[in-house]
Amino acid sequence: MPDPRPHAFTPQEQAELDALAALVQGAIMVYDVDATGLGRLIHISDGCIDLWGLDAATILADEAAIWFMAPREQRRLLRHSFGNATRQNLPWAHEWRILNARNETHWLRGMGKPRPRADGHVRWTVFINDVTDSVRARALDMASDDRFRRIFDSIPSIAVQAYGPDMIVRYWNKGSERVYGYSAEDAIGRSMLELVVPPALRSGFDRNFLRSLDGSTTLNTGVHWLQRKDGSAVEVHSNEIVTEHPERGIEIFCIDFDLSEQRQAEDRRLTLEAQLRESQKLEALGTLAGGIAHDFNNILAAILGNARLAMEDAQGQTAIAESVGEILKAGSRAKDLVQRILAFSRRQPLQRRVMSLQTVVDESVRLLRATIPKGVELRVECDPVTPMVLADPTQLQQVLLNLCTNAWQAMADRSRGQLVMRLRPHRGPPPAEPEGVVLEAGSRDDWPETNVRLTVADNGVGMDEATIARLFEPFFTTKPPGEGTGLGLAVVHGIVRDHEAAVHVQSHKGVGTVFELYFRAATSMAEGDMPDNTGTDTARERTPGEARILYVDDDELIADLMQRLLRRAGYASHVFTNPAEALRAVREGGIDYDLAITDYSMPGMSGIELARALRALHPAREVAITSGYISPELRHAAPAAGVSELIYKPNTGDELLDAIERLANRVQSGRPPC
């Protein structure tokens, strides 16, 4: 039989290779690499049989056979490492895994060193040995397992499991215990299908897993609804990785990310978005209500103004005067309602004044009687000796309306519902430790000796402790979707806090709820704190006017009313419904005036813009603005535009004439505008 080894060695070199091969376990390989980098296996020792299960002749005839025993990824790394060593002419070392001709798995280690030759070639001598059972391989394996298991256990939010082709669990980290509820002792040795996959999904998981091992499909990677030990569902994102251990064979590591917190955060985000949309819807409704109220305000001003003129014309005609008087009373109530709608539709700063809370109670009752179901009994008890308080009446009315609306809506049987409002004096500060929820603003030490307690009580369904604990949270509501925003009691809390007051809540399921609001009694009647008498129609004698008036309002009803009202009062007037035309007439000298009265909200040019233009033409002439709602923005902008008076439009009768007289006297006395 011919010698399969090429005769490329001297007899001495051949003797040295044979002696070395007899001393070591493994295979010695010799490569000849030419100047172009092309290498050729020219020798391999008989130790190759133990490693690859093939003899030297077979390997020399088809060297690729031993390299294809390594998995594809291992071959790529092996080729890359040896190529780098040959290009850089450096020693080489590498470890890789094979499945040999006897179907045995082995881990091999190769080491080689280049030796240049005189003919320009490089002679590589490579030693390959089996390291599968070596101490170093076992140590590396154990260290690797320990290191990665400690890493996995240090991340409790990630569940990691390891199992074999039979899906029997071999590893179960602390994150898996948290996510699925099984301890490592419970889980190891049991099937993954049995532990975490719902029964309805097990057949699909099993088929997909077996096909993935054959390379026919991907593993069960993606988002899945699995189950915990207690049977509850848990949403996870799974990533599965197939590895191969030299002793344990194929192992699958499954890394699960619990999506519960992410899902809860997403649900909270969607809830907040829905609440924001609801809030925006409420704001839009408020804007719509404000617009309707503003337009109705103009109509109401015309009704009240003409009714006042009719009252003057009806002197001596009792029947007519009585009917007109009723029109004025109804109009006055409508004026109050419009003002409240305008106030509710806009944010406004706290405007506290000394007042009686009975006024707020009475006005709230008027509104409530039109909204609460007929079967609900509304009882009001007000002690006439209750002290005055320093408060914003509009905001306190909002508090009462919110509390009372919640009360009657909480009545299961509205045919026997009872809603009670009580206003009483209260000695000292609020009770220190009442039952229920207590919210206080300010110190308990600075309360006057006598104060005010306002109670709203109902016999509704009541609340449990969990509901009471969250009662004043923004957007918290127990009402069905679409029936409540959860803003009402949060607003109540804010208003009570701004008034440095206190609110106590007691409630019992099936019995009802009691809200008690405590307010500090007003201790002084400082200037500016006197009760507000705006809107009272007190008649008084007037002297004929001498000032010439420019009046501008885009509403024809108001313009016609004011022209007649001013003429009757003895004033020479120029009335316009178009602000641009009025300004053009002034610029061209077609009219002359001493005082200008202009509406605030007009198309094309606002009252502020017109006032600014008139003051630029005639700096010494007074300008006043009328508006159905005198907002904080208008109060801020008016002085900068040279406006001397702001007049509430429904009072365009006596109040307007009062303002005209004040401004006319100022013009005649030569005093600068305020």
- pLDDT tens string 75-99: 877 887 888 788 888 898 888 888 8
Q: What is the DSSP string of 258-304?
A: E-HHHHHHHHHHHHHHHHHHHHHHHHHHHHHHHHHHHHHHHHHHHHH
What type of residue is 387?
Answer: P
Tokens 């106030």 — which residue? 343
- pLDDT tens string 35-78: 777 888 888 988 999 999 999 999 999 999 999 998 876 787 78
Task: Assign domain 357-519 to a CATH class.
Answer: alpha beta
Give residue 55's pLDDT: 92
Distance CA 542, CA 556 (A): 26
Give residue 280's pLDDT: 66
Of 46 and 371, the structure prediction assigns the larger pLDDT to 46
Write down the domain spans for the chain: 11-132, 138-258, 357-519, 548-669
Pairing of strands 502-508, 512-519: antiparallel
The mean pLDDT value for 497-504 works out to 84
- pLDDT tens string 313-334: 887 788 888 888 888 877 776 7
Distance CA 399, CA 518 (A): 13
3-state helix, strand, coil in the chain (%, to 5): 45, 25, 35
Q: Does pTM surpass 0.95?
A: no
Find the range with the poorest average confidence among 341-345, 351-355, 372-376, 652-656.
Answer: 341-345
Under the banding of pLDDT at 50, 70 and 90, the label for residue 529 is: very low
Give residue 453's pLDDT: 93
Give residue 336's pLDDT: 65
Q: Which residues pair with 518 in a beta bridge?
A: 453, 502
- pLDDT tens string 206-247: 666 655 555 444 566 788 889 999 989 888 888 887 776 655
* Count of CA atoms in the C-beta half-sphere (13 A) of 363: 20
Instruction: Select the CATH number that applies to the domain covering 11-132 from these four: 3.30.450.20, 3.30.479.30, 3.20.20.150, 2.60.120.560.
Output: 3.30.450.20
CATH code: domain 548-669 is 3.40.50.2300
- pLDDT tens string 658-667: 777 777 676 6
Check for a shared fold between 11-132 and 138-258. yes
CATH code: domain 138-258 is 3.30.450.20
Distance CA 657, CA 569 (A): 8
Give residue 627's pLDDT: 83
